[in-house]
Amino acid sequence: KNEVEQSPQNLTAQEGEFITINCSYSVGISALHWLQQHPGGGIVSLFMLSSGKKKHGRLIATINIQEKHSSLHITASHPRDSAVYICAVRRGTDKLIFGTGTRLQVFP
């Protein structure tokens, strides 16, 4: 079993829909990252969380440390949101452990 599990693996949505991507982990962490990887390959860091909730534009990330779970929400989704969303956790000062990613396609 992977230490970081994401669901769903693939997700399709109509433009305007509210989207949720989930991340569960099985180890103690110091921080959790949400990353976005576009088809060209470049990776953008969306959020780094250690507790609570963060919001940036249409993106919201939450984390529940007790339940070892985080969610990434996209409100009013748009085709340009189509990408692979990756959850990664850090244990102490150690390296990042990556989830396998969620492939999102938003259709007009």
In one letter, which amino acid is 93?
T
Q: Looking at 16-24, 38-46, 60-68, 69-77, which segment touches another protein (CB under 8 A)? A: 38-46
Residue 57 DSSP code: T
- Residue 64 sits at φ, ψ, to 5 deg, of -120, 105
Asked if 10 interacts with another protein (CB under 8 A), we say: no
CB 48 within 8 A of CB 32: yes
Interface of this chain with another protein, residues 65 to 104, rule: CB under 8 A: 86, 90, 92-96, 98-101
Closer residue to another protein in complex, CB, 6/77: 6
Asked if 41 interacts with another protein (CB under 8 A), we say: yes
Q: Which of 24, 48, 65, 73 binds another protein (CB under 8 A)?
A: 48
CA quadruple 38, 14, 16, 40: dihedral, nearest 10: 10
Residue numbers of the site for another protein (CB under 8 A)? Answer: 30-31, 33, 35, 40-45, 48, 86, 90, 92-96, 98-101
